[in-house]
Structure 1
Amino acid sequence: MKKIRDNKGRAGRIMPLAVAVVVFILSFWGCVGAISVRAEEREEESDIEDVAEQNSVTQRQAGGTHVLTYYDTRYNDGLLRVGYFEIDGGTTAMCVCHEMEPPTQTGSTLTTVAEYTAENRGNEQLRKIYYYGWKGPGDVGASYVETCLAGSVANGHDDNYYGYGQAFINRIAGLPAAPKGFTVYLLSDGAAAHQNLGYWEYHPTGYARLKKTAEDNELTEDNRCYTLQGAEYGVYADESCTDQKAVLKTDANGETTAVELAPGNYYVKEKQAPFGYRLNTNVYPVTVEAEKTAVAEVKDIPVWNKAEVSICKVDAETGESQALGGADLAGAKMRVNYYAGYYETDNLPEVPERSWVLETKEEKGESDSAYVCRLDEVHLIEGDAFYMMNDQVILPLGTITVEEIEAPKGYLLDGMQFQDESGEVQEGRYLTQIRPDGDTAVLTGGNAHKASDHVIRGDLELIKIADGTHKRLSKVPFKITSNTTGESHVIVTDENGYASTSAEWNLHTSNTNCGENMEDGVWFGIDTEGTLIAPDDCKGALPYDTYTIEELRCEANQNHELIPPFEVTIKKDHVTVDLGTMTDDKPEVPEELNKPEKEKQETPGQTVKAQTVRTGDGANLSNWMLVCILSCVAVIVCVMITRMKKR
């Protein structure tokens, strides 16, 4: 029976260990949990100088010197006596001082003493007389004598012949003035007693002007960045545009004043485009007729930008288009506003001309990927219609602003910055202007921009104690591992059992990530090259992510059961997650083993539970055999007694 009790004691000793194993397994599975919280966060008005340059018509100079080559009195009829003169071998001249002696010496030199034009208005009546007079351009059937005598009157002399001259003047009084290009000259041989002679030259002229319009009014209408003023066109006598005769300059309405030209065919070509337009290289033929105005109608093509605007989303700490921790650079929302004019930040109109909301999307390359938004239908979430040209999105001259209105997951909206191709950085809202550059337009800061956000960073803290005694456990290491990147670092509890990743406890820059003692700082952030970015003591150590926390075995906890690994999520900036007080349990000692030896003996009257006999146990086999023998003996005795009674 003692051996049976020994076996019982042995079973008693086995049972606590089995119970402890079962308890450990159940507590392990009961403590493993995951908390996963996902946070949804994202003209200069060009001064176009109007250089007012008048198109001057070359005025005919005074006729200079001439030679009297012929004189007679062919038109004398005995009553009306006037002389007939020719100069320079055939040009008719008439006396304009009738009562004076005529110059009659042929071969004598005559000098121009007066020139009457439409411009100087020196003697409009004389011009009109000669124009409508004998063989004039506007001849109304007047005789040589009438014309000669009327000219004398207009020159301040008397005709002395019954008012013939005045009668002609009265006859043409209601007719228009002589046109431009019709010039009268007075000649003198220098003798005071001789009359002056008059002759005319007519160089009929027409006019040409230009009317310019824009080819695409959708871009230019009500847009102060475009102007039709200041275009300069040459008027040429040849189609190759080398013999320039005049210049036409446009006003704000795209129109020019008329220039005077001799009748004929001309060619018009732009020499200088107005601000905001391409230089028009076409040649426009124009025909000028006398006393008429020809209008050349031309169109200029406005310049525009191809809208190859790209905004690459980057992490502010790494400067790369790759997120830290469990954050994500996709999904950032950008608002792009377009203003039809040149503006700066302080004078932007309240309402833009057009506005679009774009979203960053991942673009995969051969070796890496980037998160980009572009001004196109693929990235457009909402907004106005795009400006289009040849099925391509474009931007007219003007101003655009870009502003992030929603940060991507795991990032902060505050503190975001834009950087253009020149390296200029603007915080919060980026402004750039679209200005002409030859036949196109460019953004002053370039087409490619970076938009950087700061990742959410936080911290965690904990206290480590022993079970029962609540003793603070120091020098206990805890491994923190990013569930996204696998980056892992260790923090160690101090003498109060306290550990924290916060720089307020241990500076991140102090023995960064050594993880050997309680004074070592910790910092997470591996870039795409696998290099740890520089720690910043003003930020949390842990980027937005879920982390696994694991207690490591050490001398301080060698007699304790380690807490199972668990997860914690960092989702708010500058927030320290308190993991609370963590207890290491000591293994439980079975109550039977704690009793004194005497208490382990059975007491009188104590019921002993039957023990299961196990094969292969020597002691139990002996007892079994003894019981069998005794049972046989008892059976034999019973049989003998029965027989004796029968007898």
Structure 2
Amino acid sequence: MLAACVLVLALAAPRSAEALEGISGTCYVACTNAHIDGPDGGNVFEATFPQYGISATGYCISGSVYGTPLPGTYPFSGEPAGDGGFQITVNCRGAGMYENHYSPYGAQNVGGFKIHPFGAVEVLKRSAAPDVTDNNACYRLAGAVYGVYADEACTSQVLALTIDAAGRARSECVLAPGRYWVREKAAPEGYLPDPGVYPVDLAQEDCRTGTVPAVCVADAPLVAPVDILVQKADRETGVPLPLGDASLAGATFTVEHYAGRYASLGEIAAAGAQPARTWDVVTDEQGRASVGTGDLPGNGSGGSGLPLGTVVVREVQAPRGYLLPD
């Protein structure tokens, strides 16, 4: 396999994905303008979520009759905001309050902001030899399965991605920022397995902006290495030795390759299929005819051979002492 590109960003260690119905936990909240006297001052808070590596600016959402909480760790909940983010409410009830912001009704809650703790990654897959695979139904990128793992050894799978017909698979927005590793679990039809393990980094900024880091891979198609395309034999003896003054040398064959699977010449004709490749070969004294490796397409990974499909061989000129077959 050929790894075409890997989008990599430096960031913190990964954390497990959470459900999209909502999030909850604790965060650290500190008022940044506690010097303002009175409940009508318009308090602003810095809310820090160490579990996500996120800091955000929040505001009083309880009204002016409530006091300003002292810095501390408080429980929060987050409701889905529809854009991959979560609308946050920090419950500061029962907290200690600043003397100049004290209220007998208790401390105000903090909110008025969203966080985007999760993001997505995707795999973009293409053929390493499009001249072999394009318009050939024997090759399909769809159905390849990749695992996304939390460790380089690929022992802790986070989720699985299935490639579509366009060669693309994108995860849901459920991954916490961090480094992940991507490895193929099932190869697509007509392609060699991809042995690569690809790192991909999901930054918190990617989560906030909806940017999706991608792993790009190019798969080598299966091709059939061939040495001898045609081996001619004497019909009476069934062995590649001529009788009498006849010769097996000089027979000319046309070899046609069709990009698809066909059971008969009639099926090829009914489909109106045209050969994707054609070779004219001539037998030697042993009745053998071959195509040089330079005349066979490469698979983009150092190999060459006949692409998957249907091969039709026609003898167009018989050698000396023989007739063309019926």
TM-score, with structure 1 as normaliser: 0.34
Q: Does residue 341 of structure 1 match 2:260?
A: yes
Give the aligned partner of residue 330 of structure 1.
249
1:400, CA displacement in angstroms?
A: 1.0
Against the structure 1 CA distance between its residues 160 and 305, is the aligned structure 2 distance closer, same or farther, given a 3 Å change threshold? same
The code of the aligned residue for 1:59 comes to: A
- Indicate the residue corresponding to 1:493 in structure 2: none
d(CA) in 1 for partners of 2:234, 2:247: 10
User: In 1, distance between residues paired with 2:127 and 2:317?
Assistant: 40
Would you say 1:357 and 2:271 are equivalent positions?
A: no
Greater CA deviation, 223-232 or 331-340?
223-232
| Aligned partner of 2:190 among 276, 301, 306 | 276
Distance 1:392 1:278 in 2: 11
**Structure 1 equivalent of residue 297 of structure 2:** 387
AA in 2 matched with 1:352? P
Please list the CA deviations of residues 25-44 of structure 1 after superposition, one character each: whole Å capped at 9, or x if unmatched. xxxxxxxxxxxxxxxxxxxx
Partner of 1:254: 167
TM-score (norm 2): 0.64
**1:83-114 deviation line (CA, Å, top 9, x unaligned):** xxxxxxxxxxxxxxxxxxxxxxxxxxxxxxxx
1:210 CA drift (Å): 1.4
Map 1:416-565 onto structure 2 (within 5 A): none
Structure 1 residues 286-308: Cα deviation after superposition (integer angstroms, max 9, x where no partner): 11012132111122111111123
Alignment of 1:46-125 (within 5 A): 58-59=18-19
How far, CA to CA, are the matches of 2:176 and 2:303 in structure 1? 47
**Structure 2 residue 326 is the aligned partner of structure 1 residue 406:** no
1:521-546: per-residue Cα shift (whole Å, max 9, x none)? xxxxxxxxxxxxxxxxxxxxxxxxxx
Per the TM alignment, residue 254 of structure 1 is displaced from its structure 2 partner at its CA by: 1.0
Tell whether 2:162 aligns with 1:239: no
In the TM superposition, what is the alpha-carbon distance from 1:311 to its structure 2 partner?
A: 2.3
Residues 1:304 and 1:178: Cα distance change in structure 2 (over 3 Å):
closer
Counterpart of 1:180 (choices 85, 88, 94) is 85
Shift, 1:204, TM fit: 0.9
SS at match of 2:154: coil
Structure 1 323/391 Cα, relative in aligned 2: closer, same or farther at 3 Å?
Answer: farther
Change (3 A) 1:248 1:79: closer
The alpha-carbon distance between structure 1 residues 235 and 315, as it changes in their structure 2 partners (threshold 3 A), is same
* Inter-partner Cα distance in structure 1 for 2:288 and 2:267: 29
- 1:374 is matched with 290
- Determine the C-alpha separation between the residues in 1 that align with 2:147 and 2:86: 22
Structure 2 unaligned runs (5+)?
1-16, 27-36, 48-54, 67-80, 92-107
Matching residue's letter, 1:230: G
Over 3 Å counting, the alpha-carbon distance change for 1:249 and 1:199 in structure 2 is farther
- For the structure 1 residues 211 and 346, does the alpha-carbon distance in structure 2 shift closer, same or farther, using more than 3 Å as the test? same
Cα gap change, 1:393/1:243 in structure 2, threshold over 3 Å: closer, same or farther?
closer
Amino acid at match of 2:19: Q
Distance 1:234 1:283 in 2: 10
Distance 1:294 1:359, change over 3 A: same
Equivalenced residues, count: 254
CA contact (8 A) 2:247 2:321 kept: yes
Structure 1 residues 404, 204: closer, same or farther in 2, change over 3 A?
same
Q: CA deviation at 1:227?
A: 2.0
Q: Match of 1:357, as an amino acid?
A: D
| Cα distance change of structure 1 residues 235 and 388 upon mapping to structure 2, 3 Å threshold | closer
Aligned to 1:318: 237
Structure 2 CA distance, aligned partners of 1:79 and 1:359? 97
- Give 1:202 deviation, angstroms: 6.2
Q: How much has 1:263 moved relative to structure 2?
A: 0.4
Aligned pair partner of 2:133 in 196, 220, 223 = 220
More strand by share: 2
- Which residue identity does 2:289 align to in structure 1? C
Over the matched positions of the two proteins, sequence identity in percent amounts to: 33
- Is the 8 Å Cα contact of residues 268 and 286 (structure 1) preserved in structure 2? yes
Instruction: Determine if contact 2:223/2:304 at 8 Å carries over to the other structure.
Output: no
- 2:247–2:285 Cα contact (<8 Å) kept: no
Amino acid at match of 1:139: T
Deviations 1:57-86 (A, max 9, x none): 64167889x9xxxxxxxxxx9988xxxxxx
**Which of 206, 230, 234 pairs up with 2:119?**
206
Could you tell me how far apart the structure 2 residues matched to 1:300 and 1:246 are? 22
Instruction: Tell me, in whole angstroms, the C-alpha distance in 2 between the residues paired with 1:62 and 1:218.
Output: 48
In structure 2, relative to structure 1, the CA distance for the partners of 1:185 and 1:178 (3 Å cut) is farther
Do the aligned partners of 1:180 and 1:204 also contact (CA within 8 Å) in 2? Answer: yes
Deviations along 1:3-25, whole A, 9 cap, x unmatched?
xxxxxxxxxxxxxxxxxxxxxxx
Q: Partners of 1:240 and 1:147 in 2: how far apart?
A: 46
